[in-house]
Amino acid sequence: MKKVKIFDTTLRDGEQSPGCSMSKEDKIRIAKQLDEMGVDVIEAGFAASNQKDFEAIKEIAKVVKRATVVSLARCNKKDIDKAYESVRDAVHPKIHVFIATSDIHMYYKLRMDREEVIEKVRECVTYAKGKCDEIEFSLEDATRSNPDFACRVIDTAIECGANTINIPDTVGYITNEEFKNFIVYLKCNSRLDEVELSVHCHNDLGLATANSLMAVMCGANQVECTVNGIGERAGNAAMEEIVAAIKTRSDIFDAYTNIDTRKIKMISNMVIEATGSMVQNNKAVVGENAFKHESGIHQAGVISERQTYELMDPSEYGIEEDSIVIGIHSGKAAIVDKIQKMGMNPFDYEIDEIVKDIKSYCESSKSVPDEKFFEIVSANKKYRIALNKAM
């Protein structure tokens, strides 16, 4: 099995999500947790963007013990100087240099032609390599770039010292099969196999996780992602989804990550607290409903054997609460299980009456809180019903 590195860019790309800015203290706290849970690379920010980012990266570089600490830099010497200055105190520093390579970006944003871009790559990757041993180079908007030109850019960056080449799907444009074919083409027509291959997928069409996993199957050994999938526009590939998929379907991916999955829910909550950006209830792995069941059929299956309806053990992802939700769709099996978990004997109660009362209650309420469940159950104790009949 091959190791897939997790490159977490929550503190850089994630923070660029509208309304998700974080304080320096929050960033340091999250970086420490990412390091402890086994993230391989932490992109701590974009040092040249503002002084706040620069100072946060410098502090993160000092406290992270195991992970590589990265700062992003555009293809210009001032950015690279600032990036190196911010990460130089890290145990494992790295500079991440990028430039756009699609025709639309080169024409409208850079005002440069292809040859000018090639020369800028040559100049800036060489310059960055003179400051730091570890260099990642990204072809911004790679998936909308001419494949042959992309190969030329890749070869130039590698020739000048890049250790990692990142292929971003910057606007979430590419489909699964297209991404597979694109990566295979690049590997066959450039020196990409000589270095670490990374991918960075956005979620504009809801394909970020799927495309990242396809890249792993095509040889990528690093995936760039964010906690809870936060990021610009529709966000990035979600770290928890990437890690859970590789762990759960190791038979398909023949790969593993270093992530301690028991800390995933904790880091998810930390990012929510720091950014104020909630995740939807049905969000994979970390959503409120990701491991919960209300349907009576599903509840009966899970009570009998979790794997009937749970692909993963929630405790392996830091989720310990009861997965059974008592609601209008619940059946006898869930009611009996809940009564037992509350320390009571189900044989002392009229289960059919409890089910009826719960369904009646749920006509005006979405679910039954524990205190209401206890009240309904208590009102249906057999001896109490018998006593009422006798009177």
Q: Domain coordinates of the chain in residue numbers? A: 2-275, 296-390
Give the closest residue to 75 by CA, choosing from 21, 126, 4: 126
The reply to whether CATH 3.20.20.70 applies to domain 2-275 is yes
**Measuring CA to CA, which residue among 183, 189, 97 is closest to residue 149?**
189
Dihedral sign from CA coordinates of 231, 70, 152, 183: negative
pLDDT at 294: 76
Residue 383's pLDDT is 53
Looking only at the bridges linking them, the beta strands covering 135-140 and 255-256 are: unpaired
pLDDT at res. 179: 98
Cα 84 from Cα 17, distance rounded (Å): 24
pLDDT for the residue 389? 56
Note the pLDDT of residue 121.
98
- For residue 371, the model assigns a pLDDT of 86
Residue 86: the pLDDT is: 98
- Model pTM? 0.89
- Token look-up 């270095």 returns 195
Identify which of 39, 40, 15, 8 has the alpha carbon closest to the alpha carbon of residue 230. 15
If we measure between CA atoms, which residue out of 244, 243, 269, 238 comes closest to residue 29? 269
pLDDT at residue number 227: 98
User: Residue 343: in which H helix or E strand, if any?
Assistant: none
- Cα dist. 286→3, 17, 307, 335 in Å? 23, 19, 18, 26
Give the pLDDT score at 229: 98
Q: For residue 354, what pLDDT is reported? A: 92
Structure tokens at 190: 């450039």
Amino acid at 41: V
Number of other CB atoms surrounding residue 19 within 10 Å: 8
* pLDDT tens digits in sequence order for the chain, 391 residues long: 999 999 999 999 999 988 899 999 999 999 999 999 999 999 999 999 999 999 999 999 999 999 999 999 999 999 999 999 999 999 999 999 999 999 999 999 999 999 999 999 999 999 999 999 999 999 999 999 999 999 999 999 999 999 999 999 999 999 999 999 999 999 999 999 999 999 999 999 999 999 999 999 999 999 999 999 999 999 999 999 999 999 999 999 999 999 999 999 999 999 999 999 999 999 999 998 888 887 888 888 877 887 888 889 989 999 887 777 888 898 889 889 888 888 889 888 989 999 899 899 998 888 888 889 888 998 888 755 554 555 5
| The predicted structure's pLDDT at residue 180 | 98
d(CA 186, CA 78): 30
Please list the residues that pair with 99 across neighbouring strands: 139
What pLDDT, on a 0 to 100 scale, did the predictor assign at position 194? 97
pLDDT at 384: 57
- Decide: helix, strand or coil at residue 272: helix
